[in-house]
Amino acid sequence: MKSGEGLQIRNVSVRDMRWPTSLGGHGSDAMHTDPDYSCAYVVIYTMNGLEGHGLTFTLGRGTEIVVQAVHTLSQIVVGQDAADIFNNFGSFWRKLTSETQLRWIGPEKGVMHLATAALVNALWDLWARVQHKPLWKLIVDMEPEQLVKCIDFRYITDVITPEEAVKILKERQPNREKMEREALTRGYPAYTTQVGWLGYSNETVTQLCHKYLSEGFTAFKVKVGQDLEDDKRRCKLVRQIIGDDKILMVDANQNWDVKEAIAWMKELAPFKPLWIEEPTSPDDVLGHLAISKALAPLGISVATGEMCCNRVLFKQFLQSGAMQYCQIDSARIGGVNEILSVYLMAYKLGVKVCPHAGGVGLCEMVQHLQMFDYICLSQSSEGRWIEYVDQQHEQFANPVHVRNSHYMPPKAPGYSTELRREAAEGYEWPVGSEWQKLFASGKFVDPRSLPTLPTHKH
């Protein structure tokens, strides 16, 4: 791309977007009992009028902190020519994540990395719009050298080098057109978590199981981890409805110690779960390895990664055998660039990637990433799925399209991250029109009505 063609970034806006999902128990699990699905929503504006939309997912309280971090990081972005960024994206990504003072409050993790993801995702959305392609197609059409240049390989060259990555991508090129045709025709298989939220009643679980069975779903996930007897009851209920020929996964959302996870899963083994997801702390590589070894004889695998903070931690999980299913999250680590490095490591080390997608905009984004993996790397969907949660898709200008339990590749240019204007105006916290109604009804408290802490005068 040529610089000087109107792609200079003149402004970056960021908004605190929240939806009241806690009212229905949507998204509830053992650790996060009352989530309000939210995001820090970024729009990048260029001189020629093109925009890039990006977001990072949150659960309500604290989104304002991510928003402030985006404001701080945006100073590195405003004034740049986007064409220059795209021509050397790996170097720019390192510049963004290695700012000499901001790095101290990461580095490459936590709030700063969530903010990085929102900005980086908006840049990729802009790039795809400039090229008039959906993001998956933009990446698929890249020459291996160009794609690899987008990745910062610092800290992971002991597992994969840029040269190895180029070689792998070139080796997979002959089948690329065939895989793309198959993706466009059949789509990519999904599993549903919508049946399994911890706050749902028996009636709701039953009704949703039948609904998703009728839509062709063959894989279902249930939240577990608070009460063993209740977990047994709920797993039994779902297993009885879906039958023994369907796939059941369970997810503890980091609620257990290592020994507790092993003991608990031995009790749930009769329900034949394919995997236990996030059984313990998301940072505990050796703990996950111990759980993996203990549960392997029972035919239960370990899946994790949605809270994995960066490519370095993924490297350790993948190298050690601590995860059998790698779950990238489109907003947890530093956006598309860093996620591409995880896909390459997972491919080299023979670990299947099954993206996490429970949250605002996550389904919209990860479908693009998994299409890339299907077409350019793994070239298989056997034993792989994208998570599907039927939440808040109507908020987006280009929502996901799931047909017969398969994600169909997006066709609109961009990363599918643009919110509809009505959604942005209705659910911006705390000023949106929908929040005003909820404050008036007494269902939520307007934070502006709360007393503020006194400031000390010096």
Active-site positions read: 223, 356
Per-residue tokens: 252: 């503890």
> What is the dihedral angle through the alpha carbons of 183, 420, 130, 3, rounded to the nearest 10 degrees?
-140
Query: For residues 269 and 265, what is the distance between their CA atoms, to the nearest angstrom?
Result: 6
Nearest to 418 by CA among 181, 106, 124: 124
According to DSSP, the residues that pair with 134 across neighbouring strands are: 414
CA 141/CA 127 separation, integer angstroms: 13
Q: Give the phi and the psi of residue 173 in degrees, each rounded to 5.
A: -60, -40
User: What tokens does 35 get?
Assistant: 């989530």
Residues 395, 427: Cα–Cα separation, whole Å: 10
Q: How many CB atoms lie within 10 A of CB 233?
A: 12
For 6: left if phi > 0, alpha if psi spans -120 to 50, otherwise beta; the answer is left
Share in percent of the chain as helix, strand, coil (round to 5): 45, 15, 40
Give the DSSP H or E segment for 344.
helix 335-349
Asked whether 301 and 275 are in contact (CB, 8 A), the reply is: yes
Can you tell me the distance from the alpha carbon of 422 to that of 67, in angstroms, rounded to the nearest whole number? 20
Q: Using CA atoms, how far apart are residues 228 and 129, in angstroms rounded to an integer?
A: 48
